[in-house]
Amino acid sequence: MSELPEGFVTASHIILFEESETSRCDVCASELSPAGEMEESHDLPGRGLLVWSRGAERRYQEPPLCASCAVAIGVTALQRWETEEDEG
Ligand SMILES: [Zn+2]
């Protein structure tokens, strides 16, 4: 049995497939704060809203988003909206 050098850290691939109760951001996959910890932090996770229609069927999906991604997506959507209004 060989000895690992000091400071050597191993991580198993299981971490990648970790099935945890913490939700992850749909965009950057960063961990979102569990509901209980949100009071201390103002870094509230947001939610995106995807809407698409397939024939007569309309589907809604709310992927979990971390605060920074939610803001980034919201700003992008707003900018596009403003651009389209200017062009119209
Ligand atoms: Zn994110």
Residue ranges per structural domain of the chain:
13-87
Distance CA 64, CA 29 (A): 10
Distance 5 CA to ligand 1 centre (A): 35
Confidence of residue 71 (pLDDT cuts 50, 70, 90): confident
Q: What are phi and psi of 19, to 5 degrees?
A: -105, 95
pLDDT value of residue 4: 59
**E strand or H helix at 86:** helix 67-87
Whole-model pTM: value is 0.41
Distance 55 CA to ligand 1 centre (A): 31
Distance 7 CA to ligand 1 centre (A): 30
Give the count of beta carbons closer than 10 Å to the beta carbon of residue 45: 21
Q: What is the mean pLDDT of residues 64-83?
A: 83
Distance 53 CA to ligand 1 centre (A): 25
User: Encoding tokens for residue 43?
Assistant: 């870094």
Q: What are the tens digits of pLDDT across the range 33-49?
A: 665 444 444 555 566 66
Distance 59 CA to ligand 1 centre (A): 23
| 86 pLDDT more than 50 | yes
3-state secondary structure of 87: helix
Q: What are the tens digits of pLDDT across the range 12-38?
A: 665 555 555 667 888 898 888 665 444
